[in-house]
Every structure is written in C-alpha cells, then in structure tokens.
Amino acid sequence: MTPYPMLEKYFHNFFINIFMHSSHHVRSVLDASNQ
C-alpha cells in the first residue's frame, strides 16, 4: 500500500482516462481509414 491512497487513486484515474482516450482515438482513426 502506498502512503498516499488519494494520490494513487488520482494517478490511477489519470492513466485510465489517457488509455480510454487514446483507444477511442485509435478506433476513430481506423474507422476513418476504412471508409
């Protein structure tokens, strides 16, 4: 366990948001290239 659970939760959400955003961006690029 880290001594900063709130900070750990913040970074976890931060990386989740980046991952979701980048995967959505990749998916939209693939959709555009298929058309």
The tens digit of pLDDT for each residue in 15-26 reads 999 999 999 888
Q: Can you give the pLDDT at residue 2? A: 62
pTM as predicted: 0.51
DSSP 3: S
CA distance 2 to 29: 38
